[in-house]
Structure 1
Amino acid sequence: MADKSFLEWPFFEDRHRSHAQDLDAWASGALAAVDHSDTDQACRNLVRSMGDAGWLMQTSAPDGAPLDVRKLCLSRETLARHDGLADFVFAMQGLGTGAISLFGTSAQRDEWLPLTQRGKAISAFALTEPQSGSDVANSTMTATRDGNDYILNGEKTWISNGGIADVYTLFARTGDAPGARGLSAFVVPAGLRGFEVVERLQVIAPHPLATLRFTDCRIPASAILGGSGQGFKIAMGVLDVFRSTVAAAALGFARRALDEALDRVTTRHVQGAPLFELQMVQGHIADMALDIDASALLIYRAAWTKDSGAPRITREAAMAKLFSTDQAQKVIDKAVQLHGGDGVRHGMKVEQLYRDIRALRIYEGASDVQRVIIARQTIANHQGI
């Protein structure tokens, strides 16, 4: 049974505790046997079921109101503990429409948020490009003004939900200024002329990923988010909110790994005694429990700080993501080791977790990028900048 004692920490209000308990109860039944054989269809089914149950309502907020980051983190932690693909689906409904929710006009929010909240539309966040990766400021995709329209040209890659999304938050260079200041954000529906999916990408923990190409793709000027030249600010603002939730998903994977390990060492016998009686095994369990609690403290500190009104939590979110994803990898590796040969057998939960966790140390800012962010913020704080 997963440890729930952290819900009594002072980071949370009663509404957060109730939400975590209710979602856990729903997930225990609805996610018990998700069919992963067709990844695209599984994602569509999960979007619909979570939308019908009301769990996607929290992925966006009305009238540009702040998102409840603690609730988002609790949701991702809970869903990841039950099913990695369910966590992915929830996360992308939030990340994909985060810019619309936080920076969109009333018309943009009214058009898309009711659909994504109810599971009637799937969203995506199209930021990464083949040549720029994490260096968002060097994006080269262009959006050229032409009368009442913009014309999009360029490619995006590693786009989650690429190929199945109904709406994309897309970032392109509008030429307002060099570097980061020249980027703008747009709401782009699927199916436009000149918008094509050129490659579906396969990864070790399957989920929908694609490379997108835009060739003289025309969109109305009303599709711009937050004004011309505001794209970098919007991207960083959205990632500032959702980076903590990546850490929470890693925490959910780690908690499930610990649960699986505890089941193993309390039921498996070696030389007539339970496996957990070996001191080395107890050492592994202690390390896993320690890493999980330390991760949770960093995650919910960041989420609480944002919910308390901090305009940015760049340092706190980077610390939470870096530590929690790296430590979750170690926790899961220990769980695999404690399972022996069964730990690497296809279909075992710890084997699935081993594949699930790896991408979290890369997307939304790789671990080494987080180290750079933390160092720069720490130096700036020391210098009083």
Structure 2
Amino acid sequence: MNRNDQHLEWPFFDDTHRDLARSLEDWCVAEELSGLDDADVYGACATLVARLGQAGWLAYCVPSGADGGLGGKHGRIDSRSLCILRETLARHHALADFALAMQGLGSGAISLAGCDRLKRKYLPEVAAGRSIAAFALSEPEAGSDVAALSCSAVRDGDHYVLDGEKTWISNGGLAHFYCVFVRTDPQAGARGITAFVVDADTPGLNAQERIDVTSPHPLALLRFERCRVPAANMLGEVGQGFKLAMQTLDIFRCSVAAAALGFARRALDEGLAHAPRRRMFGQTLMDLQLTQAAFGDIAADIDQSALLVYRAAWVRDVAQRASTMETAMAKMVATEAAQRVIDRVLQMFGARGVVRNSVMERLYRDIRALRIYEGATEVQKLIISRQLIRN
């Protein structure tokens, strides 16, 4: 057992999780994911979704359904499996992690609240990697404050007419469908939000305005102009969209922490390989006590992150209770710790660490967004404190 899978001995896991981790690691090595050419991020992401689907990994992102007809691996999404997948993929390449994660997050609202027709239409295609999903929640003036969203939907016979904008939408311009959260009651606050599935080719939906960010991935602004969506594409009931969005994020937020953990483990691997080889002042970098102390801090950061990540996943999977506070702790600690770990290892590389597209430079860019999306660190602190007060 190597350093990167010693945590699998912990009681959070069973043998199926251990087998999953080792099988995926073998697949990542065989597929040479660490050397992935992502110059064309849209093309690379589409290819990755197809490869992940063909290999069966996307089946962990959706439920199986009572008759097994939805394409999933388990009856309900297993958080520990999802976290193992994201941690492992992130250690090899951020875009591979992204491709898998968005299949789950993008279709999560359908898994939770879709009618049988919608589930059977979309979920098997997501699991097979034939259809790319997206989660459309954020707006120019509504990010952390989801209840402030203003993109509207007005009933018109058997349809709803959508108008407004969504931004920072991952897989925007690439997805085949979007789970979109819109305001159906302008006076009802959080209770006035409803969710719909909107196919990418629906007239009135424009997803052509791409957004370039530090760690490149498919990202776009969506515009809805008199976009007519069948009422039958509603997820859940009118006014349940905010609750559905929070439930979806609660499932997948823990896996964001797992991705951060994967980035941190990769940084540690790079540092441990580099420090004994780098000679300076008549000795190696690893001989310096400052370096040894840094690795001690890094190892503790990684283990505390892993313990919180897999505790949160275990609470949802095994204890089968709401894991809102545990998940918020995991995301806050793991993303902040990964930023520290990567920064400290990059410092060991000196100028080599900031060479464009070197492993450490990529990790430095990849980790930054994780402290923001699916609830910024500051929001996680509020969630934790509110849960404490409520309890």
**TM bracket (short chain):** over 0.9
Once residues 74 and 304 of structure 1 are traced to their aligned partners in structure 2, the CA distance between those partners, rounded to angstroms, is 12
Instruction: Determine the structure 2 residue equivalent to 1:218.
Output: 228
Instruction: Determine the structure 2 residue equivalent to 1:314.
Output: 324
Shift of 1:134: 1.2
Is the 1:2–1:259 Cα contact (8 Å) retained in structure 2? no
What amino acid does structure 2 have at the position aligned with 1:197? A
What amino acid does structure 2 have at the position aligned with 1:73? C
Is the 2:103–2:126 Cα contact (8 Å) retained in structure 1? yes
Shift of 1:378: 1.3
Instruction: Determine the structure 2 residue equivalent to 1:41.
Output: 43
Cα deviation digits, residues 244-287 of structure 1 (max 9, x gap)? 00000000000000000000112212233222111000010000
Once residues 154 and 210 of structure 1 are traced to their aligned partners in structure 2, the CA distance between those partners, rounded to angstroms, is 14
Once residues 181 and 211 of structure 1 are traced to their aligned partners in structure 2, the CA distance between those partners, rounded to angstroms, is 25
Shift of 1:176: 8.2
Once residues 198 and 117 of structure 1 are traced to their aligned partners in structure 2, the CA distance between those partners, rounded to angstroms, is 26
Cα deviation digits, residues 23-81 of structure 1 (max 9, x gap)? 01101121142111101000011011111111111110033842100000000000000
Once residues 142 and 311 of structure 1 are traced to their aligned partners in structure 2, the CA distance between those partners, rounded to angstroms, is 33
Once residues 48 and 308 of structure 1 are traced to their aligned partners in structure 2, the CA distance between those partners, rounded to angstroms, is 31
Instruction: Determine the structure 2 residue equivalent to 1:272.
Output: 282
Once residues 339 and 25 of structure 2 are traced to their aligned partners in structure 1, the CA distance between those partners, rounded to angstroms, is 23
One of 341, 344, 347 as aligned partner of 1:334 = 344
Instruction: Determine the structure 2 residue equivalent to 1:73.
Output: 83
Is the 1:157–1:211 Cα contact (8 Å) retained in structure 2? yes
Shift of 1:225: 0.4
Is the 1:2–1:255 Cα contact (8 Å) retained in structure 2? no
Once residues 327 and 256 of structure 1 are traced to their aligned partners in structure 2, the CA distance between those partners, rounded to angstroms, is 13
1:136 aligns with 2:109: no
Once residues 245 and 368 of structure 1 are traced to their aligned partners in structure 2, the CA distance between those partners, rounded to angstroms, is 18
Instruction: Determine the structure 1 residue equivalent to 2:24.
Output: 23
Once residues 298 and 82 of structure 2 are traced to their aligned partners in structure 1, the CA distance between those partners, rounded to angstroms, is 24
Once residues 92 and 154 of structure 2 are traced to their aligned partners in structure 1, the CA distance between those partners, rounded to angstroms, is 44
Once residues 366 and 274 of structure 1 are traced to their aligned partners in structure 2, the CA distance between those partners, rounded to angstroms, is 39
- Could you state the TM-score of these two structures normalised by the residue count of structure 1? 0.97
Cα deviation digits, residues 152-202 of structure 1 (max 9, x gap)? 111100000000000100001111861111111111110111100252100
What amino acid does structure 2 have at the position aligned with 1:5? Q
- Could you state the TM-score of these two structures normalised by the residue count of structure 2? 0.95
Q: Which runs of 4+ in 1 moved over 3 A?
A: none
Instruction: Determine the structure 2 residue equivalent to 1:376.
Output: 386
Cα deviation digits, residues 83-112 of structure 1 (max 9, x gap)? 000000000000000111121111111001
Number of corresponding residues: 381
Once residues 138 and 219 of structure 2 are traced to their aligned partners in structure 1, the CA distance between those partners, rounded to angstroms, is 12
Instruction: Determine the structure 1 residue equivalent to 2:309.
Output: 299
What amino acid does structure 1 have at the position aligned with 2:97? D
RMSD: 1.2
Once residues 345 and 240 of structure 1 are traced to their aligned partners in structure 2, the CA distance between those partners, rounded to angstroms, is 36
1:262 aligns with 2:272: yes
What amino acid does structure 2 have at the position aligned with 1:228? V
One of 53, 56, 70 as aligned partner of 2:55 = 53
Is the 2:137–2:180 Cα contact (8 Å) retained in structure 1? yes
Instruction: Determine the structure 1 residue equivalent to 2:9.
Output: 8
Instruction: Determine the structure 1 residue equivalent to 2:375.
Output: 365
Is the 2:173–2:208 Cα contact (8 Å) retained in structure 1? no
1:192 aligns with 2:202: yes
One of 152, 164, 182 as aligned partner of 1:172 = 182
What amino acid does structure 2 have at the position aligned with 1:8? E
Once residues 102 and 22 of structure 1 are traced to their aligned partners in structure 2, the CA distance between those partners, rounded to angstroms, is 28
Once residues 321 and 304 of structure 2 are traced to their aligned partners in structure 1, the CA distance between those partners, rounded to angstroms, is 24
Shift of 1:377: 1.0
Once residues 209 and 274 of structure 1 are traced to their aligned partners in structure 2, the CA distance between those partners, rounded to angstroms, is 43
- Alignment identity in percent? 53
What amino acid does structure 2 have at the position aligned with 1:236? M
Q: Give unmatched runs, 5+ long, in structure 2.
A: 67-74
Once residues 213 and 25 of structure 1 are traced to their aligned partners in structure 2, the CA distance between those partners, rounded to angstroms, is 41
**Structure 1 residue matching 2:4: 3-state secondary structure:** coil
One of 86, 103, 111 as aligned partner of 1:101 = 111
Instruction: Determine the structure 1 residue equivalent to 2:217.
Output: 207
Is the 2:52–2:58 Cα contact (8 Å) retained in structure 1? yes
Once residues 248 and 223 of structure 2 are traced to their aligned partners in structure 1, the CA distance between those partners, rounded to angstroms, is 23
Within 5 Å, give how 1:111-126 maps onto structure 2.
111-126=121-136
Once residues 44 and 112 of structure 1 are traced to their aligned partners in structure 2, the CA distance between those partners, rounded to angstroms, is 17
Shift of 1:309: 4.2
Once residues 381 and 80 of structure 2 are traced to their aligned partners in structure 1, the CA distance between those partners, rounded to angstroms, is 23
